[in-house]
A = this chain, B = another copy of it.
Amino acid sequence: MPEIINDLSKLCVHTQTNRPWNLDQCITNYSEAGIHAISIWRHLLEGSSLSHVKSQLTAHNMEVVSLVRGGFFASPEKLTRELAIEDNLKAIDQAAAIGAPLLVLVCGSDPDQSLEVSRDQIRDGILKIIPYAKNAGIKLAIEPLHPMYAADRSAIISMGQANVLVEQINDQSLGVAVDLFHLWWDPDLESEIKRCGGEGNLFAFHVCDWNVPLQDMLNDRGLMGDGCIDVKQIRGWVEEAGFKGYREVEVFSDKYWAMDQIEYLERIKYAYLNYT
Contact = CB atoms under 8 A, between A and B. Distances in A.
A242 interface: no
B148 A230 contact: no
A187 B115 contact: yes
Copies in the complex: 2
Please tell me the size bucket of the interface on A. Answer: 20 to 34
Interface in A201-242: 210, 212-214, 217, 227-228, 230
A147 interface: yes
Contacts of A187: 115, 161
Given A146-B147, A147-B185, A213 B152 contact: yes
A227 B111 contact: yes
B151 A227 contact: yes
Interface in A144-171: 146-148, 150-152, 157, 161
B214 A185 contact: no
A9 interface: no
Contact of A111 (B151, B157, B212): B212
A114 interface: yes
Interface string A114-150: 1100000000000000000000000000000011101
A275 to B, nearest CB: 14
Given A217-B148, A230-B114, A185 B157 contact: yes
Nearest to A119: B187
Nearest to A182: B147
A214 B115 CA distance: 17
Nearest to A210: B151
B214 A151 contact: yes
A212 B114 contact: no
A228 B146 contact: no
B151 A228 contact: yes
Interface in A44-60: none
A212 B152 contact: yes
A161 B186 CA distance: 11
Interface of A: 111-112, 114-115, 146-148, 150-152, 157, 161, 185-187, 210, 212-214, 217, 227-228, 230
26 contacts: A111-B212, A111-B228, A112-B228, A114-B230, A115-B185, A115-B187, A146-B147, A146-B148, A147-B147, A147-B148, A147-B185, A147-B186, A148-B148, A148-B214, A148-B217, A151-B185, A151-B210, A151-B213, A151-B214, A151-B227, A151-B228, A152-B213, A152-B228, A157-B185, A161-B187, A217-B217
Closest 4 CB pairs of A and B: A111-B228, A150-B185, A111-B212, A148-B148
